[in-house]
Amino acid sequence: MNNPNLKEDVETIKLLLEKHNLTVGALDLILNETSINIPLSIFKKKAGPLSVICHYLKDYKNLKLVDIAKLLNRDQRTIWASYNKSSIIKLNINSKIFVDVKIFSNRNNSIMENLTFYLVNVHKLRLIEISKLINRSNKTIWCFYNRAKYV
Protein backbone atom coordinates (compact mmCIF):
# COMPACT_ATOMS: atom_id res chain seq x y z
CA MET A 1 0.00 0.00 0.00
CA ASN A 2 2.08 2.87 -1.30
CA ASN A 3 -0.86 5.23 -1.50
CA PRO A 4 -1.10 7.18 1.81
CA ASN A 5 -4.80 8.01 1.21
CA LEU A 6 -5.61 4.33 0.85
CA LYS A 7 -3.77 3.57 4.08
CA GLU A 8 -5.81 6.25 5.89
CA ASP A 9 -9.05 4.88 4.40
CA VAL A 10 -8.23 1.36 5.55
CA GLU A 11 -7.55 2.66 9.07
CA THR A 12 -10.84 4.56 9.03
CA ILE A 13 -12.69 1.41 7.99
CA LYS A 14 -11.03 -0.57 10.78
CA LEU A 15 -12.07 2.07 13.32
CA LEU A 16 -15.67 2.01 12.07
CA LEU A 17 -15.76 -1.79 12.27
CA GLU A 18 -14.56 -1.66 15.87
CA LYS A 19 -16.79 1.26 16.86
CA HIS A 20 -19.97 -0.37 15.57
CA ASN A 21 -18.88 -3.93 16.43
CA LEU A 22 -19.22 -5.07 12.81
CA THR A 23 -17.49 -7.90 11.02
CA VAL A 24 -16.25 -7.64 7.47
CA GLY A 25 -19.19 -9.83 6.37
CA ALA A 26 -21.70 -7.43 7.90
CA LEU A 27 -19.93 -4.47 6.32
CA ASP A 28 -20.08 -6.21 2.95
CA LEU A 29 -23.84 -6.71 3.35
CA ILE A 30 -24.30 -3.06 4.26
CA LEU A 31 -22.14 -1.68 1.46
CA ASN A 32 -23.62 -3.88 -1.21
CA GLU A 33 -27.11 -3.64 0.25
CA THR A 34 -27.29 -7.30 -0.49
CA SER A 35 -30.59 -8.84 0.25
CA ILE A 36 -30.43 -12.37 1.55
CA ASN A 37 -33.33 -14.51 0.48
CA ILE A 38 -34.30 -17.58 2.45
CA PRO A 39 -36.05 -20.50 0.73
CA LEU A 40 -39.53 -21.06 2.09
CA SER A 41 -38.98 -24.83 2.05
CA ILE A 42 -36.69 -24.68 5.12
CA PHE A 43 -39.73 -23.95 7.30
CA LYS A 44 -41.16 -27.42 6.60
CA LYS A 45 -38.85 -28.85 9.26
CA LYS A 46 -40.30 -29.47 12.70
CA ALA A 47 -37.37 -27.55 14.22
CA GLY A 48 -38.04 -24.03 15.45
CA PRO A 49 -38.19 -21.35 12.78
CA LEU A 50 -35.36 -19.30 14.32
CA SER A 51 -33.19 -22.41 14.45
CA VAL A 52 -33.66 -23.21 10.76
CA ILE A 53 -33.03 -19.59 9.77
CA CYS A 54 -29.79 -19.55 11.79
CA HIS A 55 -28.75 -22.90 10.36
CA TYR A 56 -29.39 -21.73 6.80
CA LEU A 57 -27.58 -18.42 7.21
CA LYS A 58 -24.55 -19.97 8.91
CA ASP A 59 -24.11 -23.17 6.91
CA TYR A 60 -25.46 -22.18 3.49
CA LYS A 61 -24.68 -18.44 3.38
CA ASN A 62 -21.48 -18.64 5.49
CA LEU A 63 -22.40 -15.78 7.80
CA LYS A 64 -20.93 -15.46 11.27
CA LEU A 65 -23.28 -15.72 14.23
CA VAL A 66 -22.66 -12.07 15.12
CA ASP A 67 -23.77 -11.03 11.61
CA ILE A 68 -26.85 -13.22 11.84
CA ALA A 69 -27.71 -11.61 15.19
CA LYS A 70 -27.51 -8.15 13.64
CA LEU A 71 -29.58 -9.17 10.60
CA LEU A 72 -32.31 -10.68 12.74
CA ASN A 73 -32.20 -8.01 15.48
CA ARG A 74 -31.51 -10.65 18.11
CA ASP A 75 -28.97 -11.20 20.85
CA GLN A 76 -25.89 -13.14 19.74
CA ARG A 77 -26.41 -15.67 22.56
CA THR A 78 -29.91 -16.40 21.28
CA ILE A 79 -28.55 -16.97 17.79
CA TRP A 80 -25.83 -19.28 19.14
CA ALA A 81 -28.36 -21.34 21.11
CA SER A 82 -30.74 -21.55 18.14
CA TYR A 83 -27.97 -22.57 15.79
CA ASN A 84 -26.76 -25.29 18.16
CA LYS A 85 -30.28 -26.75 18.31
CA SER A 86 -30.40 -27.04 14.52
CA SER A 87 -26.89 -28.19 13.71
CA ILE A 88 -27.90 -31.79 13.01
CA ILE A 89 -30.83 -31.17 10.66
CA LYS A 90 -30.60 -31.25 6.89
CA LEU A 91 -32.49 -28.44 5.20
CA ASN A 92 -34.38 -28.63 1.94
CA ILE A 93 -33.28 -25.50 0.10
CA ASN A 94 -35.11 -26.25 -3.15
CA SER A 95 -37.92 -23.75 -3.22
CA LYS A 96 -39.76 -21.64 -5.74
CA ILE A 97 -40.60 -19.03 -3.12
CA PHE A 98 -37.99 -17.02 -1.24
CA VAL A 99 -38.35 -14.68 1.70
CA ASP A 100 -36.20 -11.64 2.42
CA VAL A 101 -34.36 -12.15 5.71
CA LYS A 102 -35.08 -8.53 6.72
CA ILE A 103 -38.70 -9.36 7.56
CA PHE A 104 -37.54 -11.41 10.54
CA SER A 105 -35.89 -8.42 12.23
CA ASN A 106 -39.32 -7.07 13.24
CA ARG A 107 -39.51 -7.98 16.92
CA ASN A 108 -43.17 -6.92 17.29
CA ASN A 109 -44.23 -10.24 15.77
CA SER A 110 -42.93 -13.78 16.01
CA ILE A 111 -40.90 -15.34 13.20
CA MET A 112 -43.94 -17.24 11.94
CA GLU A 113 -46.23 -14.22 12.21
CA ASN A 114 -43.78 -12.18 10.13
CA LEU A 115 -43.46 -14.99 7.61
CA THR A 116 -47.20 -15.52 7.22
CA PHE A 117 -47.94 -11.81 6.95
CA TYR A 118 -45.20 -11.42 4.32
CA LEU A 119 -46.40 -14.37 2.26
CA VAL A 120 -50.00 -13.11 2.23
CA ASN A 121 -49.18 -9.47 1.48
CA VAL A 122 -46.15 -9.74 -0.78
CA HIS A 123 -46.52 -13.10 -2.50
CA LYS A 124 -50.32 -12.94 -2.43
CA LEU A 125 -50.64 -16.50 -1.15
CA ARG A 126 -53.80 -17.75 0.52
CA LEU A 127 -53.58 -19.08 4.05
CA ILE A 128 -54.38 -22.61 2.94
CA GLU A 129 -51.55 -22.47 0.39
CA ILE A 130 -49.13 -21.32 3.08
CA SER A 131 -50.20 -24.12 5.38
CA LYS A 132 -49.41 -26.70 2.69
CA LEU A 133 -46.09 -25.07 1.78
CA ILE A 134 -44.72 -25.06 5.32
CA ASN A 135 -46.49 -28.14 6.63
CA ARG A 136 -48.57 -26.48 9.35
CA SER A 137 -52.29 -26.65 10.05
CA ASN A 138 -54.69 -24.13 8.52
CA LYS A 139 -55.77 -22.95 11.95
CA THR A 140 -52.20 -22.31 13.02
CA ILE A 141 -51.50 -20.24 9.91
CA TRP A 142 -54.76 -18.34 10.43
CA CYS A 143 -53.67 -17.52 14.02
CA PHE A 144 -50.23 -16.35 12.89
CA TYR A 145 -51.74 -14.09 10.25
CA ASN A 146 -54.42 -12.60 12.48
CA ARG A 147 -51.95 -11.86 15.27
CA ALA A 148 -49.59 -10.15 12.81
CA LYS A 149 -52.40 -8.20 11.19
CA TYR A 150 -53.33 -6.39 14.38
CA VAL A 151 -49.90 -5.47 15.69
pLDDT at 125 over 80: yes
From first CA to last CA, the distance across the chain in angstroms is 53
Q: Does residue 74 share a domain with residue 1? A: no
Q: Range of 12's domain? A: 1-34
Q: Does residue 71 share a domain with residue 124? A: yes
pLDDT at 71 over 80: yes
Q: What is the mean pLDDT of residues 40-63?
A: 89
pLDDT reported for residue 30: 59
Q: Name the pTM for this structure.
A: 0.75
Name the more confident of 146 and 25: 146
Q: Does residue 75 share a domain with residue 4? A: no
pLDDT reported for residue 2: 62
CB atoms within 10 A of CB 15: 10
pLDDT at 32 over 60: no
Q: Does residue 51 share a domain with residue 24? A: no
Q: Does residue 51 share a domain with residue 8? A: no
Q: How confident is the model at residue 113 (pLDDT cuts 50, 70, 90)?
A: very high
Q: Does residue 78 share a domain with residue 51? A: yes
pLDDT at 24 over 80: no
Q: Does residue 41 share a domain with residue 104? A: yes
Q: Does residue 67 share a domain with residue 43? A: yes
Q: Does residue 16 share a domain with residue 41? A: no
Q: Does residue 101 share a domain with residue 88? A: yes
CA 133 to chain centre: 18
Q: How confident is the model at residue 28 (pLDDT cuts 50, 70, 90)?
A: low
Structural domains in the chain (count): 2
**Residue 119 contacts residue 125 (beta carbons within 8 Å):** yes
Q: Does residue 46 share a domain with residue 21? A: no
